[in-house]
Amino acid sequence: MQKKQHSGLKWLGRGVFVILIAISLALIFNEQIKSWLVSSYSPAVTAKAVKKNQKKTGNFNFSKVKSLDFQTVAKARLNKSAINVVGSIAIPSVDLYLPIGKGVSNETLALAAGTMKADQTMGQGNYALAGHHMIKHGALFSPLYYKSKVGQMIYLSDVTHIYAYKTTERTFIKATDVQVIDDVVGQKLVTLITCDKTGAGRLMIRGKYVQKWAFKQAPAKVQKSFTSHFNNKY
């Protein structure tokens, strides 16, 4: 009997040791795991789904956006169906390729760029997107902070069309300067917002509309920016 108890305690001790090791590794590699969960998200971007999701109601309450911690990312991956994908963004010169989700819910911003106004339309008005800045330079909107420059091309797609913009402005603004997402009379713009390195301020990238193409009539390199990184289906 004592031998069985000793054996049981031995296995229990080993189990606790394994659990402690697993927890330790998770803590050590927390940032790497979080980055992988974000970068490996690759939803199907279909014309049917985009059209359906554009009609849905999004969450545009900026005050409830949280910093991007592991729990938020894990929850978003488990509940990825809550992200209403309405298109995708590609900036080849900075290696940025992301799905666009409707609204700025924490789930959406954990895995995608989020639209900042309810009734945005690509190629019209001021199409404003928000995205998180992560430690990993290639995740979410981080490439904007480290690599963006005036003159670079920004492409948006709703699957049926591709819209081209040219970066005209890269500037740091206050977190309270929300007016930058408002439409500007007579101008077609794209405005991208992410945190600065401190998290207290914001980096704004703005581009002016150049042209649009039917998806399959866009230059081959531009098409490839989307077909190579997204599950595009017509």
What string of H, E and C letters represents the secondary structure of 122-167?
CCCCEEEEECCECCCCCCECHHHHHHCCCCCEEEEECCCEEEEEEE
What pLDDT is stored for residue 27 in this prediction? 42
Catalytic position from the list 133, 161, 195, 229: 195
What pLDDT is stored for residue 15 in this prediction? 52
Q: In CATH, which superfamily holds the domain spanning 41-233?
A: Sortase (2.40.260.10)
Tell me the sheet residues that pair with 161. Answer: 214
User: Taking the mean position of all CA atoms in its chain, how far away is CA 230?
Assistant: 13
Per-10-residue mean pLDDT, the chain, length 234: 52 49 44 76 85 89 84 84 92 95 93 94 97 79 93 96 98 94 96 88 96 96 87 54
Verify whether residue 137 is a known catalytic residue.
no
What pLDDT is stored for residue 20 in this prediction? 43
Q: Which residue spans within the chain are E strands per DSSP?
A: 44-46, 85-91, 96-101, 113-115, 126-130, 153-157, 161-174, 189-195, 201-214, 231-233
Q: Residue 83: what residue type?
A: I
HSE (side-chain half, CA atoms, 13 Å) at 34: 21
Are 132 and 195 within 8 A, CB to CB? yes
Verify whether residue 229 is a known catalytic residue.
no
Catalytic position from the list 132, 133, 161, 229: 132
Helix, strand and coil content of the chain, in percent to the nearest 5, comes to 40, 30, 30
Report the predicted TM-score, pTM, of the whole model to 2 decimal places. 0.84
What pLDDT is stored for residue 66 in this prediction? 83
What pLDDT is stored for residue 156 in this prediction? 97
Q: Where are the domains of the chain?
A: 41-233
Residues 6+ apart with CB under 8 A from 50: 85, 86, 87, 158, 159
